[in-house]
Amino acid sequence: MSDVYFSSVITRIGQVFVTSTQKGVSKIFFGERGFRDYLEMTAPQGLVPGGPAAEMAREIELYFEGELTEFKTPLDMTSGTEFQRAVWQNLLTVPYGKLTTYGELAEKVGRPGAARAVGNAVGVNPLPIVVPCHRVVASNGLGGYTGGIDIKKALLGVEGVLT
């Protein structure tokens, strides 16, 4: 098994952990608990600091400081189903500071009327913040967020969507 790289950064929403392969960033976790659960479930061999995970941690820090609007570190989005990956790829096209709805995202992935399925795919996004699932809202309000609605509001606040 290849090394898994990791890093973390303290932000206004708490500690954010990042893991990566040599190929790119593979997972982002809000808080130590999510990271510990990942370690217990997957027990990656060769967990080492640095690599693309450290690059992304720095970019996340810059994002929260308002100095970065587009992430550059490569991503390793090989997990998930084909449909989930299609949803996540389309999330990458939602611009900084803009919102889309689950229904609009369903249209973009060629599955009109599949807003609920899109919502499920958004909910299991392994790269929150970077693959901006926080920019997806319900047609009648903010909708939910796997990291919690307060984190969604904070991320939208960083981007000037909510004040």
Catalytic residues: 133
Q: How far out from the chain centre does Cα 131 lie?
A: 4
How many residues does the structure list for the chain?
A: 163
Q: Which of 5, 27, 14, 17 is nearest to 127 (CA)?
A: 27
Angle at CA of residue 124, ends 123 and 129, nearest 5°: 75
Q: What is the CA radius of gyration of the chain?
A: 15
User: From start to end of 23-69, where are the E strands?
Assistant: 25-30, 47-49
Q: How far apart are CA 68 and CA 53, in angstroms?
A: 17
Answer for the pair 135, 97: CB distance below 8 angstroms, yes or no: no
User: Closest Cα partner for 131 from 79, 77, 54?
Assistant: 77
SS3 8: strand
